[in-house]
Amino acid sequence: MDVLTSAYPDVSFASFPLIQGSLAGRTTTSPILYLPIRFGYSAPFPTDELAALAKPLATAPSDQMKSDGLIVTPATAKLARIGTFFVKRKEDEINVGAGFLDTKTREAIFLVYFSEKSEVHGAISTGGIEINVDVRLPGAGLHWLRVVKTTPTVWHVEVANEHTPISLVSQSQ
């Protein structure tokens, strides 16, 4: 994973709180992991550690996710989206929103933990944008999901290729 140059050079950690039971929304936990960062450098991403920390905190799909019209199968599946932020010190509140990008296509990528082989289907309409979700996850663990803008008002969420080159960036980029 590359850490791209940030508009906020004084941050020194990426923090990863969870959004339990949903693919989107407000974070529901404190950060479960802090990753020291240096902008402009590459580093391995601790997916195994992050999966182990997310596993016991994953929950059934939230009421908000259900009311948005997203259907998760099987009904026993638990999930947690991994939030991404930059902070100056571990004690700080969230400083700067961050996210992952496909380094080549510049499409948004996000991480989600699922407790078992699962599928998520449905469509969400928000702010004049329709977001279609159609993902099949092969098993328990962390999965990279990609947001593809098919038209200015229609986006599609799909499973990202495991070999996608990923960069961590501030949301201003």
- Nearest in space to 133 (alpha carbons), one of 158, 101, 114, 153: 158
Element (H, E) at 64: helix 63-67
- Nearest in space to 16 (alpha carbons), one of 102, 117, 112: 112
Per-residue pLDDT of 102-127, as tens digits, reads 888 999 999 999 999 999 999 998 88
Per-residue pLDDT of 134-169, as tens digits, reads 999 999 999 999 999 999 999 999 999 888 888 888
161 CB-near residues (< 8 Å, 6+ apart): none
Per DSSP bridges, beta strands 79-82 and 129-137 are: unpaired
Helices (H), 33-173: 47-54, 63-67
Per-residue pLDDT of 38-80, as tens digits, reads 777 777 889 999 999 999 999 999 998 998 889 999 999 999 9
The amino acid occupying position 47 is T
Cβ proximity of 10 and 88 under 8 Å? yes
Enter the pTM of the model.
0.88
